[in-house]
Structure 1
Amino acid sequence: MTSVNIGILAHVDAGKTSLTERLLHTAGVIDRVGSVDRGDTQTDSHELERQRGITIRSAVVSFTVGDVKVNLIDTPGHPDFISEVERALSVLDGVVLVVSAVEGVQAQTRLLMRTLVKMRIPVILFVNKIDRMGARYDDLLDEIRSELSPAVVPLTRVEGIGTAEARAITRTVGPDDPEFAAELADVLAEHGDEFLARYLDDEAALTARDYTEELARQACRAQLYPVLFGSAVADAGIGALVDGITGLFPVNHGGADGTLHGTVFKIERGWAGEKVAYVRLRSGTLGPRSKVSVFRRDPHGAVLELPGRTTVVEVFDRGSAMVEAQARAGDIAKVWGLKGIRIGDRLGSAEGLDGEHLFAPPSLETVIRPARHGAMPELYDALLQLADQDPFINVRKDDEEQEISVSLYGEVQKEVIAATLADDYKLDVVFEGTRIICVERPIGVGESVEEIDYRSKTFFWATVGLRVEPGEPGSGVVFRRSVELGSLPHAFHKAVEEAVRATLQQGLNGWEVLDILVTLTHTGFASPVSAAGDFRKLTPLVLMNALKQAGTQVYEPVNRFELEVPAENASTVLLNLVECGATPETTRGQGSSCLVEGIIPARTVQEFEQRLPGLSQGEGMLVTRFHSFQPAVGPVPSRRRTDLNPVDRKEYMLRAFGRI
Structure 2
Amino acid sequence: MSRQIEKIRNIGIIAHIDAGKTTVTERMLFLSGAKHRVGEVDKGTTETDSDPEEQQRGITIYAACVTFNWKDVIINLLDTPGHVDFTAEVERCLRVLDGAVVVFSAREGVEAQSETVWRQADRYKVPRVAFVNKLDREGANFEAVVGQISDRLHGNPLVIEIPVGQGPPHTSNPFRGVIDLIDLKFLTFPTDRDSRDVNIGEIPEDMQLEAQAWREQMLEKLYSYSNELMELALEEKPIPSDLIRKALREATLAMQVQPVLCGSALHGIGVQPVLDAVQYYLPSPVDLPPVEGESVGEKNKKTITRKASNDEPMCGLVFKVLPAKTGDIHWVRVYSGVLKSNSRVLNPGKDLKENVAQLWQIHAQKKDKDGQVDSIEAGDIVGVIGMRQSITGDTICDTREPILLETIKFPETVISMAIEPENSTERKKLNDTLDMLKRQDPTLHVVSGETGQTLISGMGELHLEVMKNRLLRDFALNVKFHKPQVSYRETIDHAVEVVGECHRMIAGQQLFAKVRIKMEPVQGAASPVTVLNFSPVDGVPPELMTAAVEELKAAGEGGGHIAGFPLIKIRVSVLGGEWNPEQTDIRAMKIAASDAFEKGLEQGGKVLLEPIMKLDIVTPDDYHGDFVGDLQRRRAIIARTDNRGTLTTIEAHAPLKELFGYSSAMRSLSQGRASCSMEPLMYAPAPPEVVKTFEM
- Give ranges in structure 2 of 5+ residues lacking alignment: 170-174, 186-202, 204-210, 287-307
Q: Does 1:258 align with 2:263?
A: no
Q: CA contact under 8 A between 1:464 and 1:520: conserved in structure 2?
A: no
Deviation sequence 1:459-497 (CA, Å, 0-9, x none)? 99674635241154356312426265995685x766544
**Between the two proteins, what is the percent identity of the paired residues?**
27
AA of the residue aligned to 2:483: G
Deviation sequence 1:538-579 (CA, Å, 0-9, x none)? 754553244323333222222233221111111111111111
Map 1:499-518 → 2, pairs under 5 A: 499-504=551-556, 505-509=558-562, 510-514=564-568, 515-518=570-573
- The residue that corresponds to 2:263 in the other structure is 230
Pick closer, same or farther for the CA change 1:196–1:441 going to 2, 3 Å.
farther
Q: CA contact under 8 A between 1:585 and 1:598: conserved in structure 2?
A: yes
Q: Does 1:408 align with 2:458?
A: yes
Pick closer, same or farther for the CA change 1:634–1:372 going to 2, 3 Å.
same
Pick closer, same or farther for the CA change 1:508–1:213 going to 2, 3 Å.
same
* Whole-angstrom CA distance in 2 between matches of 1:438 and 1:80: 18
- The residue that corresponds to 1:153 in the other structure is 158
Q: CA contact under 8 A between 1:6 and 1:71: conserved in structure 2?
A: yes
- The residue that corresponds to 2:675 in the other structure is 621
Deviation sequence 1:395-432 (CA, Å, 0-9, x none)? 11222x22221222221111100111123322143333
Q: Paired residue for 1:361, among 380, 405, 412? A: 412
- The residue that corresponds to 1:388 in the other structure is 439
Pick closer, same or farther for the CA change 1:31–1:526 going to 2, 3 Å.
farther
Deviation sequence 1:587-628 (CA, Å, 0-9, x none)? 221111111223222222325444211112212222222222
- The residue that corresponds to 1:543 in the other structure is 597
SS in 2 for 1:416: helix
* Whole-angstrom CA distance in 1 between matches of 2:79 and 2:12: 6
Deviation sequence 1:174-220 (CA, Å, 0-9, x none)? 5954334311123224x516357426632425333222211111122
AA of the residue aligned to 1:409: M
Following superposition, the deviation at residue 375 of structure 1 comes to 2.6
SS in 2 for 1:233: helix
- The residue that corresponds to 1:312 in the other structure is 358
Pick closer, same or farther for the CA change 1:566–1:503 going to 2, 3 Å.
same
TM-score, length-normalised on structure 1? 0.86
Q: CA contact under 8 A between 2:422 and 2:480: conserved in structure 1?
A: yes
* Whole-angstrom CA distance in 2 between matches of 1:617 and 1:147: 29
Q: Does 1:88 align with 2:93?
A: yes
Q: Does 1:32 align with 2:37?
A: yes
Deviation sequence 1:361-406 (CA, Å, 0-9, x none)? 222222222355663333233222211112222211222x222212
Pick closer, same or farther for the CA change 1:415–1:150 going to 2, 3 Å.
closer
* Whole-angstrom CA distance in 2 between matches of 1:396 and 1:371: 18
Q: Does 1:562 align with 2:567?
A: no
Q: Paired residue for 2:69, among 44, 64, 81? A: 64
Pick closer, same or farther for the CA change 1:362–1:460 going to 2, 3 Å.
farther
Deviation sequence 1:29-88 (CA, Å, 0-9, x none)? 111222223323221122222222221111111001233110011111111111111111
Q: CA contact under 8 A between 1:288 and 1:326: conserved in structure 2?
A: yes
Pick closer, same or farther for the CA change 1:72–1:640 going to 2, 3 Å.
farther
Q: Paired residue for 2:502, among 448, 451, 462? A: 451
* Whole-angstrom CA distance in 2 between matches of 1:466 and 1:354: 34
- Give ranges in structure 1 of 5+ residues lacking alignment: 297-303, 642-660
Pick closer, same or farther for the CA change 1:498–1:291 going to 2, 3 Å.
farther
* Whole-angstrom CA distance in 2 between matches of 1:404 and 1:220: 47
Deviation sequence 1:218-245 (CA, Å, 0-9, x none)? 1222211122222223222121111011
- The residue that corresponds to 1:634 in the other structure is 688
- The residue that corresponds to 1:171 in the other structure is 181
Pick closer, same or farther for the CA change 1:546–1:434 going to 2, 3 Å.
same
Q: CA contact under 8 A between 2:47 and 2:364: conserved in structure 1?
A: no
Pick closer, same or farther for the CA change 1:527–1:460 going to 2, 3 Å.
closer
Q: CA contact under 8 A between 2:540 and 2:577: conserved in structure 1?
A: no
AA of the residue aligned to 2:386: G
Q: CA contact under 8 A between 2:531 and 2:549: conserved in structure 1?
A: no
Q: Does 1:201 align with 2:253?
A: no
* Whole-angstrom CA distance in 1 between matches of 2:25 and 2:618: 27
AA of the residue aligned to 1:285: V
Task: Judge which range, 560-569 or 521-530, deviates more.
Answer: 521-530
SS in 2 for 1:392: coil
Q: Paired residue for 2:248, among 215, 219, 225? A: 215
Map 1:471-482 → 2, pairs under 5 A: 472-474=522-524, 476-480=529-533, 482=535
Task: Judge which range, 55-64 or 619-628, deviates more.
Answer: 619-628
Following superposition, the deviation at residue 145 of structure 1 comes to 4.2
* Whole-angstrom CA distance in 1 between matches of 2:39 and 2:689: 53
- The residue that corresponds to 1:107 in the other structure is 112
Q: Paired residue for 1:324, among 361, 365, 373? A: 373
AA of the residue aligned to 1:588: D
* Whole-angstrom CA distance in 1 between matches of 2:432 and 2:581: 41
Following superposition, the deviation at residue 340 of structure 1 comes to 1.1
TM-score, length-normalised on structure 2? 0.81
